[in-house]
Amino acid sequence: MLINGPRGTKDILPETVAQWTYVEDVIRNICARYGYHEIRTPIFEHTELFLRGIGETTDVVEKEMYTFTDRGGRSLTLRPENTASVVRSYLQNKLYASDALVKLFYIGSMFRYDRPQAGRYREFHQFGVEALGEENPSVDAEIILLAVEFLRALGLQELRLHLNSVGCPKCRPVYREKLQEFFRPHLAELCEDCQSRFERNPLRLLDCKNAQCHELAEGAPRITDCLCDECRMHFDEVQAYLAATGVTFELDANLVRGLDYYTKTAFEVKYMPLGAQSAVAGGGRYDGLVEEVGGPSTPGIGFAVGLERVLLALEKQGLLPKVHESVDIFIVALGDVAKIPAFKLMQELRMAKISASMDFAGRSMKAQMKQANKKNARFVAILGEDEVKEACVALKDMKTSEQKKVASKDLVSALCVEVKN
């Protein structure tokens, strides 16, 4: 019986890897321009890191984590997101000692037990950026601009930037009370999840996807009306920096992030042609997270982009590059006498940084030429019994159909010139 991959996972096949590489190249180019450096963290961490970092009342921790006990009796979890892991690494490796502002980015797999759908899997990939050590609103603006520019660099144009402030531990309790007061008369009408959130995490009532809950949230108090002076000033400055660069944004009072560690600035970038699943990037400030996982009080801000959803958007808009397999030369070996000399020649070409391929099954010349065409070979070197005796090859230019004899010992140097041209 055939064993299929687990539900919610997807093989990234050779014909699509090039598309992923293209997106990753754009990521690395933009991050280099903004001064962000790549970090790679373990795929699993101690479960406590996510309990303390993400928050025990979040959907991620309550319903979606892949947690297991290892042979030493330790509770480990496949990372459901990477910010907590980056913060752990920042502290463990004392990255703060090298610079007051540490700017990092990552690309990697995350894992959540979620309902699979278009652009969303149980193993999914994120590109994320984190800036640790600076509370100035200009860093918020830089992070947001990086997210927007990344998506624009891929060709996505119908983008909408949604912006909000979720306050801080000083002013958020005031808002929580007002929010609970607003929803209390409708508590029985809320979905089961929202009834559970009412006491523990009432801000999440604002972004419930249930239609009735969404309707009940209309007219709810706005968190921006409850901000303390510090949060209000910070939010005003973030908007001023963004406005100065010409980036348009929408203030969205219902925008809250799904993880407990967010403070002050929260944002999402939406790509409207995706419809209900339009959010392709999101993040915000998390000034209490470093302290929550055992470090000193340290400001931080970041965002994450779901790469599957980005690739889906690029595919729908025809923005993915067309990638065709090609080799510089295909060697056609005719008969047993040519097999070993052809293989030796192929390796010499590869060592000279010329891409080369050949048929290993001993097919007919017609079948091998067909294979050369399939691989979009620029040249074909034909090697039969006569060519082996004469220590040469019949070199065919597949563009012009011209064919000439070239000594085997001169093939590498001749092709080095031709390939460069």
The CATH number given to 14-171+227-316 is 3.30.930.10
Which secondary-structure segment (H or E) carries 4?
none
Q: Which of 399, 416, 54 is nearest to 259 (CA)?
A: 54
Who wins on pLDDT, 325 or 282?
Answer: 282
CA 224/CA 235 separation, integer angstroms: 9
Q: Where would I find the beta strands (DSSP E) of 21-114?
A: 37-38, 44-46, 67-69, 75-78, 102-111
Q: Is the pLDDT of residue 334 over 80?
A: yes
Q: Which of 45, 307, 52 is nearest to 154 (CA)?
A: 307
Identity of the amino acid at 347: Q
Q: What are phi and psi of 200, to 5 degrees?
A: -85, -40
- Residue found by looking up tokens 């949060």 in the block: 231
Dihedral sign for Cα atoms in the order 76, 77, 82, 83: negative
- Residue found by looking up tokens 């012009």 in the block: 400
What is the mean pLDDT of the segment spanning 102-131?
Answer: 92
Q: How does the average pLDDT of the chain come out, rounded?
A: 91
Q: How far is CA 167 from CA 53, 251, 302, 318, in A?
A: 18, 14, 16, 40
Query: For the whole model, what pTM was predicted?
Result: 0.88
Q: Return the CATH number of 329-414, one of 3.30.70.100, 3.40.50.800, 3.40.190.150, 3.20.20.150.
A: 3.40.50.800
Instruction: Indicate the domain borders of the chain.
Output: 14-171+227-316, 329-414
Q: Where would I find the beta strands (DSSP E) of 241-325?
A: 250-251, 263-271, 279-285, 300-306
Contacts of 36 (CB under 8 A, 6+ apart): 103, 104, 105, 129, 131, 146
Q: Do the beta carbons of residue 110 and residue 281 sit within 8 Å? A: no
CA 246/CA 232 separation, integer angstroms: 21
pLDDT in tens, 13-60: 998 999 999 999 999 999 999 999 999 999 999 999 999 887 766 778
> Which residues make beta-bridge pairs with 131?
103, 301
Residue 421's pLDDT is 64
DSSP 3-state helix, strand, coil percentages of the chain (rounded to 5)?
45, 20, 35
Dihedral sign for Cα atoms in the order 176, 178, 183, 185: positive
- Residue found by looking up tokens 């052809």 in the block: 342
Give CA 410 to chain center in angstroms: 46
Q: Determine which of 37-51, 81-95, 188-202, 380-394 has the lowest per-residue pLDDT on average.
A: 188-202
pLDDT in tens, 401-416: 999 999 999 999 989 8
Q: Do the beta carbons of residue 168 and residue 289 sit within 8 Å? A: no
What is the mean pLDDT of the segment spanning 295-308?
Answer: 95
